Amino acid sequence: MNAGFRSHPAARLFDAGGEVALTPVARPAVLEDRPGAAALLAALGRGAGFRIGGAGPAPEGEGVFETLTSGSSGEPRRIRRSVASWQASFAVNAGLFGIGPGQAVAVLGRLSHSLALYGALEGLALGAAVHLLDGLRPDRQRAALAARGVTVIHATPAQLRLLVEAGGPLLPELRLVLVGGSKLDPGLRSAMAAMAPGAALREFYGAAEASFITLADADTPADSVGAPYPGVEVQLRGGELGEIWVRSPYLFQGYGGDDPGSARWDAGWLSVGEMGWLRQGHLYLAGRAGRMVTVADQNVFPEEIEALMQGLSGVARVAVLPRPDGLRGQVLIAVCQGDPAAEAEILRAARQVLGPLKAPRALIWRQDWPVLASGKSDLERIDREAGPWP
């Protein structure tokens, strides 16, 4: 029995140039992610292991494959998982979102990014028309979404921001945007509503190792990442603000090669080091334990501050970073892209909400914004180029 991914008889595949015949092809087990259609066709039906992108040998064994992490803390890690771990959520999403024949699904990123690979494989498995738009400029991606009548897209907030900033036609046929990678800020949410007025925005919180953890909808409190995704159990350990542990059918098997990784297992439960709290069935994130900073004996999560500042007028993108301080041990600075003329008001608003310890002591402005292949901020480069402070 072939244990690989299979396409539905009604599925169709399109790339930037038009329709591509859905005929699986024989390729090496480690695949180049461009052209995307060739990589996807080579992955379909493969019973033995495969990976799109990355260094090192392919995984061995029936019904296994590897994806890559975003690499936000260094080189991308190889994530080994079973085909069944994704197929289980394909079935869930078919029921939740109506993905199937008659729907047009688009992915915007490279297939070496697991969000894009997942969206493409899910669409083909459920019988949708799948459009691979990687390689097009954001303005041409937006034009393609309109011209092809795309109804569902899988994207990160960074990719959506580029679509909005590119300008172009409205997307009246877009009915669903599945968002992963990080939360949408209020400004981007508003811009998306203007660009695609009929589209529901459904945000997922998850990790490469865990896949889906929570799902947010229109009734989710603004600061929450949602309630547990179907089939997922969430447990907090260490107190009301605790480490998040999950158990589900969607978890990975382990890291590729000799990499011990950062995730931890305990009797079928998995943690990737995120901290948070639960309130009335909804999960709230504080941030990664590895990014936590101690300022004057107070634990501070940069992600909390980034989320606040991302919603302030004049801030398009932000990364909050620690710097040594003789009095407090560490203080925080914020590297921003946006309007430097708004700096005084941004600092005032941050101090008013966060208080003097959590609020950044200074803003550093830059015009460009380094990102990883996944679209996430390249924190290591931003930190390095920001230099010392003061």
**Could you tell me the two tokens for 203?**
């945000």
pLDDT at 1: 43
pLDDT digits (tens, 9 = 90+) for 303-322: 999 999 998 999 999 999 99
pLDDT digits (tens, 9 = 90+) for 341-373: 999 999 999 999 999 889 999 999 999 999 876
Name the average pLDDT for the chain. Answer: 93
Q: What percent of the chain has pLDDT over 70?
A: 98
Q: Is the pTM of this model over 0.75?
A: yes
pLDDT digits (tens, 9 = 90+) for 93-108: 999 999 999 999 999 9
Tokens 């990364």 label which residue?
319
pLDDT digits (tens, 9 = 90+) for 263-274: 999 999 999 999
Residue 381 has pLDDT above 80, yes or no: yes
For residue 71, name the pLDDT band (cuts at 50, 70, 90).
Answer: low
Residue 7 has pLDDT above 90, yes or no: yes
pLDDT digits (tens, 9 = 90+) for 111-147: 999 999 999 999 999 999 999 999 999 999 999 999 9
CA distance 198 to 61: 44
pLDDT digits (tens, 9 = 90+) for 21-51: 999 888 899 999 999 999 999 999 888 899 9
Query: Rounded mean pLDDT of 269-292?
Result: 94
Query: Rounded mean pLDDT of 374-382?
Result: 85
Residue 74 has pLDDT above 60, yes or no: no
